[in-house]
A = this chain, B = another copy of it.
Amino acid sequence: MRASERAYQRLREEILDGELAPGAPLGEVEQAARLGVSRTPVREAFARLEADGLATAASARVLVVAELSPESIAALYELREALEERAARLAAERRDPAPFLAVRRRIVAATEQLDGGADGLTEYYAAIAELDEAVDRAAGNPLLTAALRGARLHSARVRRLARHHPARLRRAADEHLLIVDAIIDGDASLAAHATHVHLHLSLRHALASIGGRSVA
């Protein structure tokens, strides 16, 4: 694999996992040394991270890991609402239930294994990721999918911050199933509204979970 690709994925993972904390400075030489590549691929990785919004220019010449304040989390969910609602609506209008029937089974199965520790959690998130992908495919709008990709990246950061109780995950699964069923039924309006409700509750849980502390 290309060195720039490895550098990008590694840095992205570290930012999403919180190993690189919000506000942490990103120096080319430092990261190049740490990752074992030259500055050139690191520069490219930095550029992609900045385009993703995971890194921001603190001043003219210093790049830092993007902040993650309650305000920015609220803004993120506002954006996701606009995008996911539209995507869900388009998916429902498509009327191609087959992939969603498959996703539905996977979500149900994953929910039953939620007490199985870390593996259960991983499978749960994988199932949700498959739902996202199915929605993107059905929506059939590459630009929308690209915009959603960025928003979901940020959501992964939030997810790690907000420790998810099994109770919340179980309820979230129900919300997801309602969305899936609406899409299967071709009920675009319900798909959109159910998506809205899900995001609203997710945001409320996330903000409550981090308790207002700015994770800078």
Q: Which residues of A contact B (CB under 8 A)?
A: 43-44, 47-48, 51, 53, 72, 75-76, 78-79, 81-83, 85-86, 90, 140-144, 146-147, 150-151, 154
Contacts and interface: CB of A to CB of B under 8 A. Distances in A.
Contacts of A76: 143
A83 B87 CA distance: 12
Contacts of A53: 143, 146
Contacts of A72: 142-143
Contacts of A144: 75, 78-79, 82
29 contacts: A43-B44, A47-B47, A47-B48, A51-B51, A53-B143, A53-B146, A72-B142, A75-B142, A75-B144, A76-B143, A78-B86, A78-B90, A78-B141, A78-B143, A78-B144, A79-B86, A79-B141, A79-B144, A81-B86, A82-B82, A82-B83, A82-B85, A82-B86, A82-B144, A83-B83, A83-B147, A143-B151, A147-B147, A147-B150
A193 to B, nearest CB: 15
Given A53-B143, A78-B143, 13 more contacts: A44-B47, A48-B51, A51-B51, A75-B144, A78-B86, A78-B90, A78-B141, A78-B144, A82-B82, A82-B83, A82-B144, A147-B147, A147-B150
Nearest to A74: B141
Contacts of A51: 47-48, 51
A141 B72 CA distance: 8
A144 to B, nearest CB: 5
Contacts of A86: 78-79, 81-82
